[in-house]
Amino acid sequence: MGFHAAITGWGKYLPQRVLTNKELERMVDTTEEWIMTRTGIRERRIVGDDETASTMAVEAGKKALEVAGLSPSSLDLIIVATNSPDRITPASSFLVQHAIGAKKAAAFDVGAGCSGFIHALAIAYQFISSGIYSNILVVGSEAVTRIINWEDRGTCVLFGDGAGAVVVQANEHATDMLSFVLGSDGSGGDLLYIPHPCGKPSSAPQDGRYYVFMEGREVFKFAVTVMPKASRQAVEAAGLQISDIDLFIPHQANDRIIQAAARSLGIPSEKIFVNVDRYGNLSAASPVVALCEAVEEGRIKEGDLVVLVAFGAGLSWAAVVLRWQPRA
């Protein structure tokens, strides 16, 4: 017999610096109209000089623990989803574990592109449902703008930085994760990637820096197909229909992708949560920051059915259906 689990705490952190489209007009060959038409993004947050993926994860994690009423010393495990870790090793989750004082917690990072947070969330639920752990902190945190080529208008207008976190705890009543779908297709590995010092030297830019690379057209085609497909699969696995879902929280990468996925699923605009205009693509932090904001804004009420869905480098995708019951 499995154990029950539910999200009991949530929190987010966004850097203070705001980069607007007007500022980008002075940095690269683009216009605010072009950015808005192609992406729906008005502004994005930029990580501070003294901030990293782990420091932002700490701030988001502390807020989530406070909402849950849980002390760091009670944590069994910390999972950080990131594509922009502080270092190759140690994992950013180790740095978070030390900084918040979670002395008995195990920790590891998850790298699954922009769908990494949903992967990490699914892993957390498996640890609890098996009875191995009772209290887990799951974080999505990104400092992606550190590896953006600010002369490439195809990528520099898209990304922002930030972090979000949830606490998942064992409980006696019901599990709020009703189903999940995870997927990958390594044949698309060259469509969206971050070259790394431990990769092939020939793959790095001539100036020696390691920028995000993206074949935007191909990634767009992949996204508008895989997000509806993964959402349907997760909803069907939960024994539900799309019309049963109260709120759809898609990966906030591009408003055109969000709207195309919503049309494919037949979801009305009032059931879609969008914050891409304020933050851009937060990569693995995108779904969890959006979830936190949806709760804060009263878009999710207790008992609501919520779908989180994301796609990313890998190529990867993930979707989860939650019945929101933080006081279970």
Identify the active-site residue in 21, 171, 251, 292. Answer: 251
Looking at the structure, tell me whether residues 122 and 217 fall in a common domain: no
Looking at the structure, tell me whether residues 165 and 183 fall in a common domain: no
Domain with 126, as residue range(s), is 4-171
Domain boundary among 171, 191, 220: 171
Comparing 160 with 217, the larger pLDDT belongs to: 160
- Structural domains in the chain (count): 2
Looking at the structure, tell me whether residues 72 and 135 fall in a common domain: yes
Looking at the structure, tell me whether residues 298 and 219 fall in a common domain: yes
Give 49-86 pLDDT, tens digit per residue: 999 999 999 999 999 999 999 999 999 999 999 999 99
The closest of 252, 292, 296, 302 to 272, measured between CA atoms, is: 252
What amino acid is encoded at 215 in this protein? E
The closest of 17, 19, 81, 18 to 54, measured between CA atoms, is: 81
CATH of the domain at 219: 3.40.47.10
Average pLDDT over residues 117-136: 97
Q: Using CA atoms, how far apart are residues 228 and 218, in angstroms rounded to an integer?
A: 17
pLDDT of residue 173: 78
Looking at the structure, tell me whether residues 30 and 146 fall in a common domain: yes
Give 216-270 pLDDT, tens digit per residue: 888 888 888 999 999 999 999 999 999 999 999 999 999 999 999 999 999 999 9
Note whether residue 328 is domain-resident. Answer: no
Judge contact between 177 and 297, C-beta under 8 A. no
pLDDT of residue 210: 74
Note whether residue 263 is domain-resident. Answer: yes
Average pLDDT over residues 176-198: 82
Looking at the structure, tell me whether residues 205 and 56 fall in a common domain: no
Is it the case that residue 313 has pLDDT exceeding 80? Answer: yes
- The overall average pLDDT reported for the chain is 92
Looking at the structure, tell me whether residues 246 and 133 fall in a common domain: no
Is it the case that residue 206 has pLDDT exceeding 60? Answer: no
pLDDT of residue 69: 97
Is it the case that residue 1 has pLDDT exceeding 80? Answer: no
Backbone φ and ψ for 288, nearest 5 degrees, come out as -80, -35
Give the confidence band of 314 by pLDDT, cuts at 50, 70, 90: confident
Identify the active-site residue in 21, 135, 254, 281. Answer: 281
Domain boundary among 171, 200, 226: 171
Looking at the structure, tell me whether residues 14 and 73 fall in a common domain: yes
Give the confidence band of 208 by pLDDT, cuts at 50, 70, 90: very low
Comparing 38 with 214, the larger pLDDT belongs to: 38
Judge contact between 159 and 279, C-beta under 8 A. no
pLDDT of residue 36: 95
Give the confidence band of 3 by pLDDT, cuts at 50, 70, 90: confident
Identify the active-site residue in 114, 156, 171, 254. Answer: 114
Is it the case that residue 98 has pLDDT exceeding 50? Answer: yes
* b/e sequence 149-159, b meaning 16+ C-beta within 10 Å: beeebbbbbbb
Is it the case that residue 291 has pLDDT exceeding 50? Answer: yes
Give the confidence band of 128 by pLDDT, cuts at 50, 70, 90: very high
Looking at the structure, tell me whether residues 153 and 242 fall in a common domain: no
Is it the case that residue 105 has pLDDT exceeding 50? Answer: yes
pLDDT of residue 200: 46
Domain boundary among 140, 171, 202: 171
Note whether residue 296 is domain-resident. Answer: yes
Average pLDDT over residues 293-317: 94
- Catalytic site includes residue 281: yes
- Catalytic site includes residue 198: no
Looking at the structure, tell me whether residues 80 and 15 fall in a common domain: yes
